[in-house]
Amino acid sequence: MASSTKRVALVNSARKLPQGAKLVGAADPKQEIEISVRLRARPADDEEMMALGAQPPRERQYLSRAEFAARKGADPADVARIDDFAHHHDLNVKSVHLASRTVKLTGTVKALSAAFGVKLNKVKHEGATYRMRKGSVKIPAELEGIVVGVHGLDNRPVAQPHFRRRMARKGSTKGATARAAQAGSFSVEQIAQLYNFPGGETGAGQCIAIIELNDIDQKGHPTGAGYKTSDLKTFFKKAGIPMPQIAPASVDGGANKPGHSEADGEVVLDIEVAGAIAPGAKIVVYFAPNTTNGFIDAVKAAVHDTARMPSVISISWGGPEDAEGSQQFMDGLNEAIRDAAAMGVTVCVASGDNGSADMGQDWDGKPHADFPASSPFALACGGTNLKTPSGQIQEVVWNGGPQGGAGGGGVSVVFAQPKYQAHAHVPKSPAHRSGRGVPDVAGDADPATGYQIFLNGAGTTIGGTSAVAPLMAGLIARINEATTKKFGKTVGFINPLIYGSHGQSVFREITVGNNDITGDLHGMYKAGPGWNACAGLGVPDGEALQNLLAA
């Protein structure tokens, strides 16, 4: 291979510079960076996972993590080729992980640029400077079909947290604002009661993985996003709930760095919601840089963690699937979520907080589905507005306009419609093709009717579909405890079951509202009977869902 000079473009690796980006200059050629090389899977069939998901959990044959590594991991012969490639391009092999089919390489910007045929520049975008590339990654012809992804050459952020703070009323005093922030909101336990989550189980024996992404500086070091243990202790003490066992895990240099980022609200919301629902579960927070390789590696770290063995993963980060991220990024993350299904791990993902537009100020006027919620192997979690006048549930689609946010939902332009949605009457995608419909389920997400949490030494109310992903993760942890006791298995990938003839009866349909956040899409997606692109199948009755999955 060393003598070969023929290069080919790596399939799906092309990237564009974001709108409004300004070139500052060349990246520092001497800077040492780390990248992830993703290797091909051994024969892996999406249909195989869909068929597994259609079986009752009692009857499924999951792979253990060791079995997965042996059957589905990278071929050592492929790794040997990467070793040789690294040797001839002045790169170092930092680590090899066969199960996740990932090889970590380190080297200078100059060496990596030459090795992969790219030009890396410093680019300013939205007030910060990142290392970016455009065009495709080039690889030796001998590695074509063996290397399927090269992640980390570009370190621009790829995802946003999907949480929304409740807006203060105009003219409020500080004390009045604090009281107003609680009015109309709910404690996590109240939500669990309203949604009839099964009693008795606490998630004991289960592990919930929570994925969090750090802000990074120009050298790629984490600068923010994290939790303060004091906030968590106060929250659980005030709620009268035993504090679960919580551990931070570092991926690609990520770290618990509270006090420096607005995203602290995301981290704390995720932990407090999941922990209040399933206090008996262990919670592991996987911190990674907000980059393509960071996001993929964090999910893979959770999926393949042989020490903590999570049975459910909560992801409250994402972005428009057709934004500046490359197709290889989506392929890599979707692959990680699919791998989770093979091992009986459920992946709950927030569907976004910008309605069917799914974009903020730079919106292009078209509807977008949010990724990774649009992965066909993810349980996509949408948002509602929940009120309980006189104790009666009144629930509609969350849509508070551009300032108040709206539940994400729509139809994928990347992923084909999965078989389990064949009878869900999913409309055509914006590309006029059959696509994956988002979300699958919904729950309270409007910050106006949000969740009472404890952050930075004070009680506050936060909403967003970010709350729904850990809410559902906590519910799945409770159900996993029950099914593990009953027949020794977790519930894993549940989408085919909930869309089945028996599954839809466990949902309370959301039939009022739309998620057209600006009003410019003429209410393209409206709520109504059955599945819809605003609230999915609806809000699950927790006990009924447990009965379905434990049958």
Of these residues, 13, 326, 429, 466, which one is catalytic?
A: 466
Closest CA to 148 of 46, 8, 32: 8
Q: Determine the Cα–Cα distance for residues 36 and 466; give it in Å rounded to an integer.
A: 27
Mean pLDDT of 429-438: 96
The owner of tokens 């999965």 is 418
The pLDDT of residue 523 is 82
pLDDT band, very low/low/confident/very high, at 182 (cuts 50, 70, 90): low
DSSP-derived letter for residue 389 is G
Distance of CA 284 to the CA centre of its chain: 15
pLDDT band, very low/low/confident/very high, at 42 (cuts 50, 70, 90): confident
Q: Determine the Cα–Cα distance for residues 247 and 256; give it in Å rounded to an integer.
A: 10
Closest CA to 239 of 176, 192, 301, 302: 192
Any idea which of 130-139, 159-168, 346-355, 484-493 has the lowest mean pLDDT? Answer: 159-168
Catalytic residue check, 142: no
The set of residues, in sequence order, having a beta carbon less than 8 Å from that of 5 and lying 6+ positions away, is: none
Mean pLDDT of 69-85: 97
Residue 171 pLDDT exceeds 80: no
What's the pLDDT tens digit per position in 190-222? 999 999 999 999 999 999 999 999 999 888 899
Query: For 521-532, b where at least 16 C-beta lie within 10 A, e where not — what string?
Result: beebbebbeebb
Q: Determine the Cα–Cα distance for residues 283 and 245; give it in Å rounded to an integer.
A: 6
Catalytic residue check, 230: no
Closest CA to 526 of 542, 537, 509, 511: 511
**340: alpha, beta or left? (left if phi > 0; alpha if psi -120 to 50):** alpha
What's the pLDDT tens digit per position in 225-259? 999 999 999 999 999 999 999 999 999 999 999 99
The pLDDT of residue 2 is 47
How much of the chain exceeds pLDDT 70, in percent?
96
Of these residues, 201, 264, 266, 297, which one is catalytic?
A: 266
Q: Determine the Cα–Cα distance for residues 508 and 195; give it in Å rounded to an integer.
A: 9
Of these residues, 201, 264, 270, 481, which one is catalytic?
A: 270
Radius of gyration of the chain (CA): 22
Closest CA to 99 of 46, 63, 126: 63
Angle, helices 327-342/46-54, rounded to nearest 10 degrees: 40
Closest CA to 116 of 82, 70, 150, 154: 150
DSSP-derived letter for residue 517 is S
At residue 487, the 3 state secondary structure works out as helix
Q: Determine the Cα–Cα distance for residues 404 and 518; give it in Å rounded to an integer.
A: 11
Distance of CA 330 to the CA centre of its chain: 11
What's the pLDDT tens digit per position in 355-398? 999 987 778 899 999 999 999 999 999 999 999 998 899 999 99
The pLDDT of residue 218 is 81
Q: Determine the Cα–Cα distance for residues 401 and 404; give it in Å rounded to an integer.
A: 5
Mean pLDDT of 422-443: 96
Closest CA to 378 of 410, 343, 337: 337
Closest CA to 443 of 316, 543, 350, 306: 350
Q: How many residues does the chain have?
A: 551
The pLDDT of residue 3 is 43
The pLDDT of residue 198 is 96
Q: Look up residue 190 and give its two tokens.
A: 């109240």
At residue 361, the 3 state secondary structure works out as coil
The owner of tokens 């819809």 is 532
Find out whether 462 and 164 touch, Cβ atoms under 8 Å. yes
Q: Determine the Cα–Cα distance for residues 25 and 382; give it in Å rounded to an integer.
A: 41
pLDDT band, very low/low/confident/very high, at 178 (cuts 50, 70, 90): very low
Catalytic residue check, 187: no
Domains and CATH numbers, the chain: 7-151 (no CATH), 160-500 (3.40.50.200)
Q: Determine the Cα–Cα distance for residues 69 and 102; give it in Å rounded to an integer.
A: 12
pLDDT band, very low/low/confident/very high, at 169 (cuts 50, 70, 90): low
Q: State the virtual CA torsion across 536, 542, 544, 547 in degrees, nearest 10.
A: 120
The pLDDT of residue 177 is 42
Distance of CA 91 to the CA centre of its chain: 31
Find out whether 227 and 243 touch, Cβ atoms under 8 Å. no
Cβ atoms within 10 Å of 327's Cβ, excluding its own: 16
Residue 176 pLDDT exceeds 50: no
**What pTM value is reported for the model?**
0.96
The owner of tokens 């974001």 is 18
The pLDDT of residue 109 is 98
Mean pLDDT of 288-295: 96
The pLDDT of residue 478 is 98
The set of residues, in sequence order, having a beta carbon less than 8 Å from that of 360 and lying 6+ positions away, is: 354
